[in-house]
Amino acid sequence: MKINIKIVKTENEFIANCPELDVNCYGPSRNDAVRRIVSVLQFYVEAAQEMGLDVERLDSVMIDGDKGLSPCPREIIHPGTGSIH
């Protein structure tokens, strides 16, 4: 599954939005907001799989922010073993 994350900077925080799944996370920094939304998306995929739903694993996350579109660092998507399982 490929996910896009849009980053919006407000006066006091950053908002990371995943339009495909209608999920938002907030953080005091851009990195915190991205880490939080990736964590929520990983939980979403794992929970759906545990319930027996046919959900693709989270393969890539593209971040759309102030510097254009860039891939999410692999260690955020697949911490440790390179897997979200």
Q: Write down all domains in the chain, each with its CATH number in brackets.
A: 2-76 (3.30.160.620)
The SS3 call for residue 11 is: coil
- 9 beta partners: 14
Q: For 51, which DSSP code?
A: T
pLDDT at 69: 47
Give CA–CA dist 84/69, Å, rounded. Answer: 23
Predicted pLDDT at 21? 84
Q: Give the model's pLDDT for residue 62.
A: 80
The list of the chain residues with pLDDT below 50 reads 66, 68-69, 75, 78-85
Burial class (CB in 10 A: 0-12, 13-18, 19+), 68: exposed
Q: What is the pLDDT of residue 81?
A: 38
pTM of the shown model: 0.70
